[in-house]
Amino acid sequence: MPELKIYTVKDLREWLENNRPAEGLSERVIAPTRAWAIIHNPYVKDEDAIVAAIFEDGELAAYTASFPDMLDSKRVWWASTLYCYPQFTGKGYGLIVVGSLIEAHEPELTYDRWGAKETVEIFNHFGYQTTYTKRYHLSDKKIDAHTFKGKLAYGAQELKKCLHPWPKVSKANYTIQYTSTIDDEAYAFMKARRGTDLWLREQEMLNWIVQYPFYKSRESIDDSRELCVFGDEARQYAYKVAKVYMDEQLHGVYVLRQHDNTLSLVYLYYITEMQDVVFESVRDYIITVKPKEFVTDHESLWMYIKDRLYFPKSQEEMISLSMSIMQNGFTLQLGDGDSFA
């Protein structure tokens, strides 16, 4: 018979700090680094339900997690990491684990961002509305270089990259300050330049994101660990907050995330008249770190980089947002929801 288990912040803390896991709680249900971050979320309470899992005859069948946020002075929840093992699909377990956390958090609202097709269907089942926004990728093409055709395709890609070399870092008259936190100056600038963004996270939430990442950097990945599908190890994982100045005036603030060979621009705020200066600073950073992929939710920045740096592949991706009541005419940042992870 299936058995539903709900784990709270207190349960996660007992597991991680005192090595006293509740029955069934393990790194197969939630990765330890993610769990550690969530129990340090600025809005959690000990009694909050964080993880839901279903076991069938003692075997883990499905699980999900969530964490709180503060939007427009109200605590809300973000659904995250839904997974059902293939041998247990078709039994409605995904609906049960997500529904159990939604119910546990009532009357506080639960939202979902960047959900898989099955996750969107679950939220629609509960009466949520879903809309989609675009995410933009510039990258190398993924090629299996172990086959003969793959070797030819890889060689052709590398040749094209040699024929379209990246320029050197510009000598623009801007200065940039990199920090590990969203300080008061940066946050005040973000508030003033949020434009049509649906919401702006509170300063302490933004600092939680950059200071408590869901992944940890390791030179070698331990493949022997029995982790949940949403692991917590990367060869390189770090956030960087950038403040762009010209003539000692702050003109732009953005947050970058390096995840192995992928560089993502998680948040971006700037003075419209200084767009090219801020975008150029992003371009220069890309040239410096040489990622295999660059990701942003800002179309204008995507076009700017696309026109100035050669990437073999350009792609648009549709990202879901499920809410109880949908608004119109808004924009989102890449880091909204749990997309910062």
pLDDT in tens, 54-78: 999 999 999 999 999 999 999 999 9
Of the candidates 42, 334, 43, 320, the one whose C-alpha atom is nearest the C-alpha of residue 197 is 334
Of the candidates 64, 26, 124, 81, the one whose C-alpha atom is nearest the C-alpha of residue 230 is 81
**Interatomic CA distance for residues 190 and 186, integer angstroms:** 6
- For domain 135-323, give its CATH number from 3.30.1340, 2.40.128, 1.10.3470, 3.40.630: 3.40.630
Whole-number pLDDT of residue 163:
77
Whole-number pLDDT of residue 230:
85
Whole-number pLDDT of residue 285:
97
Tell me where in the chain the CATH 3.40.630.30 domain(s) lie.
Answer: 2-127
- For domain 2-127, give its CATH number from 3.40.630.30, 3.30.70.3270, 3.30.365.10, 3.30.499.10: 3.40.630.30
Estimate the crossing angle of helix 275-289 against helix 299-308, to 10 degrees: 60
**Interatomic CA distance for residues 192 and 183, integer angstroms:** 14
Whole-number pLDDT of residue 314:
96
Residue 47 near residue 12, CB atoms below 8 Å: no
- Tokens 């040749």 label which residue? 159
What is the reported pTM?
A: 0.93
Q: Which of the residues in the chain have pLDDT under 50?
A: none
Structure tokens at 242: 């950038």
Whole-number pLDDT of residue 141:
86
Whole-number pLDDT of residue 222:
64
Residue 176 one-letter amino acid = I
Please give the DSSP secondary-structure letter assigned to residue 292: S
Rg (CA), the chain: 21
Whole-number pLDDT of residue 155:
74
Whole-number pLDDT of residue 78:
98
Please give the DSSP secondary-structure letter assigned to residue 331: B
- Look at phi and psi of residue 214 and say left if phi exceeds 0, alpha if psi is from -120 to 50, else beta: alpha
